[in-house]
Amino acid sequence: MRIYFIDGNNLMGKIPSLKNKIKSDKIYVREQLVVQLDRAFGNSNNKVTLFLDGYMNDLIRSNKMTIVYSNSRPADLVIKDEIDRSKNPRKLIVVSSDHEVINYGKKSCCDTMTSEDFIARFFSKGNEKEEIEKIKDLEKQTDEFKKLFGI
């Protein structure tokens, strides 16, 4: 079992579908990120902690992860504090593209992953599977229409 510490604001800024909406609807973007992460980790036994800047305005529920709000502190400092508190930092995977956070994780014997690599590894596969399923559903519907209309 691995433990992922995810810099949420950093990750949101790297996902094209969320990046453009951060300023206009932060709550929606956070909810969508949680949904995507729940889906990505749904079948694993890994633990996930998502770190978000600021205060909890609305409760966001997650089936798979713990959500930590930094309140008046930067989330980067909260991540570093949690790395320091970890009993076994070698089990941690720190996800961020912030060089300071990544370097701190490396110095603390954590594995690290950039947000871009994380997206490529965990989100791209899911999107491909969803598209394949949608295509199969459309093909089934097409076959049904052909039968209905005798084509």
In the prediction, which pLDDT does 42 show?
A: 83
Q: Where are the domains of the chain?
A: 3-121
Percentage of residues in the chain having pLDDT higher than 70: 85
- The beta-strand segments (E) located in 31-133 are 47-52, 65-69, 92-95, 111-113
Range of weakest confidence among 2-16, 45-59, 76-90, 121-135: 121-135
Burial label, 124 (beta-carbon count in 10 A; 0-12, 13-18, 19+): exposed
pLDDT at 2 over 70: yes
pLDDT at 30 over 80: yes
The answer to whether the beta carbons of residues 19 and 113 sit under 8 Å apart is no
Bigger pLDDT: 132 vs 74:
74
Q: 3-121: what CATH class?
A: alpha beta
pLDDT at 128 over 60: no
Backbone angles phi, psi at 79, to 5 degrees: -60, -45
CA–CA distance, 103 with 101 (Å, rounded to integer): 6
Tokens, residue 95: 């996800």
pLDDT band of residue 95 (cuts 50, 70, 90) is very high
pLDDT at 149 over 90: no
Q: What dihedral do alpha carbons 29, 27, 122, 9 form, nearest 10°? A: 90
Mean pLDDT for the stretch of residues 70-96: 95
In the prediction, which pLDDT does 110 show?
A: 96
Tokens, residue 126: 């899911």
Mean pLDDT for the stretch of residues 75-102: 96
